[in-house]
Amino acid sequence: MSTESWFFIITGLVIFNYLFSNILDYINHKNWKDDIPNELKDFYEKEKYKKAKDYSISKNKIGFLSSTISFLLVFSLLVFNGYGIINDFVSSFESNFIKSGLFFLTLFLINTLISLPFSYYNTFVIEEKFGFNKTTKTTFFLDIIKSSVLSILIGGALLFLALYLYDKINQGFWLWLWIGLSILMIFINMFYADLIVPIFNKLTPLEDGELRNKIEDYSKKVGYLLKNIYVIDGSKRSTKANAFFSGIGPRKTIALYDTLIEKHTENELVAVLAHEVGHFKKKHIFSGLVFSIMQIGIMTFFFELCLSLPEISLALGGSDISFHLGLIGFSIVFSPISMLSGILMNYISRKNEFEADAYAKQTFNGEDLALALKKLSVDSLSNIYPHPLYVFFHYSHPPLIKRLTALN
Q: What is the pLDDT of residue 110?
A: 95
* Res 164 pLDDT > 90: yes
Separation CA 325–CA 370 (nearest Å):
49
253 forms bridges with which residues in the sheet? 228, 246
3-state helix/strand/coil string of 76-143: HHHHCCHHHHHHHHHCCCCCHHHHHHHHHHHHHHHHHHHHHHHHHHHHHHHHHHCCCECCCHHHHHHH
> Mean pLDDT, the chain, as a whole number?
93
Amino acid occupying residue 347: Y
Task: Look at residue 21 and tell me if it is in a domain.
Answer: yes
Q: How does pLDDT run across 356-373, given as a tens digit for each residue? A: 999 999 999 999 999 999
Q: What is the pLDDT of residue 64?
A: 96
- Mean pLDDT value across residues 177-186: 94
Q: Is 288 helix (H, G, I), strand (E, B) or coil?
A: helix
Task: Look at residue 231 and tell me if it is in a domain.
Answer: no
Helix axes 335-363, 400-407, angle to 10 degrees: 30
230 forms bridges with which residues in the sheet? 205, 255
Q: What is the pLDDT of residue 190?
A: 87
Separation CA 180–CA 165 (nearest Å):
10
Q: Are 77 and 83 in contact (CB under 8 A)?
A: yes
Neighbours of 254 (CB within 10 A): 22
- Mean pLDDT value across residues 136-146: 97
Q: What is the pLDDT of residue 248?
A: 75
Please state the φ and ψ torsions of residue 256, each to the nearest 5 degrees.
-100, 125
Range in 57-61, 89-93, 324-328 the model is least confident about: 89-93
What's the CA dihedral at 302, 307, 309, 313 to 10 degrees?
120
- Mean pLDDT value across residues 379-398: 94
Task: Look at residue 276 and tell me if it is in a domain.
Answer: no
Q: Are 60 and 29 in contact (CB under 8 A)?
A: yes
Q: Is 257 helix (H, G, I), strand (E, B) or coil?
A: strand
Q: What is the pLDDT of residue 326?
A: 95
* Res 246 pLDDT > 90: no
- Report the percentage of the chain scoring pLDDT > 70: 100
Band of pLDDT at residue 245, cut at 50, 70 and 90: confident
- Taking CB atoms within 8 Å and a gap of at least 24, the contacts of 8-17 are 9/333, 10/78, 10/312, 10/315, 10/316, 10/329, 10/332, 10/333, 11/75, 11/78, 11/79, 13/332, 13/333, 13/335, 13/336, 14/71, 14/74, 14/75, 14/78, 14/332, 15/75, 17/335
DSSP string, 290-332: HHHHHHHHHHHHHHHHHHT-HHHHHHTT-SS--HHHHHHHHHH
Q: What is the pLDDT of residue 9?
A: 96
Question: Of the spans 14-28, 43-57, 273-287, which averages the highest pLDDT?
Answer: 14-28
Q: What is the pLDDT of residue 189?
A: 86
Task: Look at residue 107 and tell me if it is in a domain.
Answer: yes
CA 366 to chain centre: 28
- Mean pLDDT value across residues 160-165: 94
- Mean pLDDT value across residues 203-210: 92
Q: What is the pLDDT of residue 293?
A: 95
**Nearest alpha-carbon partner for 224 in 270, 170, 173:** 270
Is 0.85 topped by the overall pTM? yes
Band of pLDDT at residue 224, cut at 50, 70 and 90: confident
Q: Are 7 and 315 in contact (CB under 8 A)?
A: yes
How large is the greatest C-alpha to C-alpha distance in the chain, in angstroms?
A: 69
Q: Are 96 and 170 in contact (CB under 8 A)?
A: no
Exposure string for 120-144, b = 16+ CB within 10 A, e = fewer: ebbbeebbeebebbbbeeeebeebe
Separation CA 117–CA 62 (nearest Å):
11
Task: Look at residue 54 and tell me if it is in a domain.
Answer: yes
What's the CA dihedral at 133, 40, 383, 368 to 10 degrees?
70
**Of residues 170 and 158, more confidently modeled:** 158
Band of pLDDT at residue 130, cut at 50, 70 and 90: very high
Task: Look at residue 212 and tell me if it is in a domain.
Answer: no
Domain that holds residue 162: 3-192+282-407
Task: Look at residue 254 and tell me if it is in a domain.
Answer: no
Give the number of domains in the chain. Answer: 1
* Res 333 pLDDT > 90: yes
Q: Are 157 and 142 in contact (CB under 8 A)?
A: no
Residues making up the chain, counted from first to last: 408
Band of pLDDT at residue 227, cut at 50, 70 and 90: confident
Q: How does pLDDT run across 15-44, given as a tens digit for each residue? A: 999 999 999 999 999 998 888 888 888 888
Task: Look at residue 244 and tell me if it is in a domain.
Answer: no
- Mean pLDDT value across residues 170-192: 92
Separation CA 258–CA 279 (nearest Å):
23
